[in-house]
Amino acid sequence: MTILIWSLAIGVFLITKDLSDTHEHVVHEFREEIMPIAQIGSMMTELSTNMNNYVLIGDKESIRSISRWSKEIDVVFDEVLSVEFGSNRHKDKIVKAKVLWGQVRESHARLGKIKKPVGSREAREEVELAHSLIGDIRASLRDANSHGLKEINEGKEKALAIKDRNDLFLALILPLSIAIMVGTGLVINRSILEPLKALGEVVQRIGDGDYSGTVVRPTQDEVGQLSRTFNRMAKSIDSYNAQLHELAIHDRLTKVLNRHEFHKRLEAQIEETAQSRASFSLLMLDIDHFKKVNDKYGHMIGDKALTEIAAVLRESVRSIDIVARYGGEEFVVILPGATRENTFEAAERIRRLIEEHEIEINVGQTIRVTISIGVARHPNDARTGDELVKKADQALYRAKGCGRNCVQACGTSQQEIEIIA
């Protein structure tokens, strides 16, 4: 009887140790390798936007932004490469992306030396080269992610293998325990086998990619310790999944949705509207003379202004409305179900609140900024997402041409807007 009890204790201890090691390995790889790679992809999007702005409008601020984003990408690359990789193939993909990134940096340097980029064939070729290299970098990073996830899946398979070993252990020990004492067998079944069976079901769900399952009411013995280890592992990975999702869909500076997620939400809104035969509106907002803010007060104040403007936007719209940063100093707002009158009232309210908002640049010293807003409605003005964005952008340029700090819409005069508002 003593031998049986010790055999059970040793077996449970070995299983607990193996599963704890698997938990630490999975969580470490997920946090140290995959999340920084996702950050690089997000920063590459900002970099591409600034390159396009420099070539299209010759904005010198874009070159400085390119330099700033490039330094941040260098830092993240260094962080990723400092991690111990599970395989050389995984690391080779990251190294390849870093080499391609060096070529992008050289292209940026050549682009910065072109004094008049607008209409320049040389500038356009440099941007096309950089975009092509960035595409290769994204492909290499995606491949690296795939290898990283493969290694994590191998960790899952290890957990399942441990479960199989556990099942074999139980298959061998159960007949022996029944032969020694039926009563002892009943006690073992209630105190050990049933919890292990429940734990085995959780292991199976984790192996299938479902991290939401946990062992209910774990006991206080070694099996309970094993169950609690699994519960921590499931919660940790589920939490990291949620963090990675939030990082992927939000703008790093302003914390509103990013451009990629905006386009996904816009297409979803168009599809929903088509089914319900309703309508919605799109606002495109641009901070007036934002370059002067950066030039006069510095980029830290410029970033502070962007962050506070985004906060004012979130506070001035409904909970169902969608706010996103489109790029640079441009924001977009989707107003589901808004009528024409509701749209202009909301746009004018946003414009007024931002105009009245004070941004502190020093103790006791504040500045104010204004915005111009372009309005387009679906399906009245456009039926596709790209067309709707184009119409709102055209209306925004009308607002800029009308002296800024105003609201303009497709085919709507300023007098009509004032009547509606």
Q: Find out whether 111 and 123 touch, Cβ atoms under 8 Å.
A: yes
The beta-strand segments (E) located in 206-321 are 280-287
Q: Kindly calculate the radius of gyration of the chain based on its CA atoms and give it in whole angstroms.
A: 29
Is 84 a residue of the active site?
Answer: no
62 burial class (0-12, 13-18, 19+ CB within 10 angstroms)?
A: buried
Question: Cα 18 to the chain's mean position, in Å?
Answer: 33
Q: Closest Cα partner for 259 from 97, 82, 52?
A: 52
Q: Find out whether 331 and 309 touch, Cβ atoms under 8 Å.
A: yes
Catalytic residue among 329, 345, 356, 358: 329
196 burial class (0-12, 13-18, 19+ CB within 10 angstroms)?
A: buried
How far apart are the C-alpha atoms of 358 and 24, rounded to whole Å? 47
How far apart are the C-alpha atoms of 23 and 172, rounded to whole Å? 27
Q: Find out whether 66 and 54 touch, Cβ atoms under 8 Å.
A: yes
Residue 407 pairs in a beta bridge with 373
DSSP H or E run through 82: none
Question: What distance separates the 2 farthest-apart alpha carbons in the chain?
Answer: 95
Instruction: Tell me the catalytic residues.
Output: 329
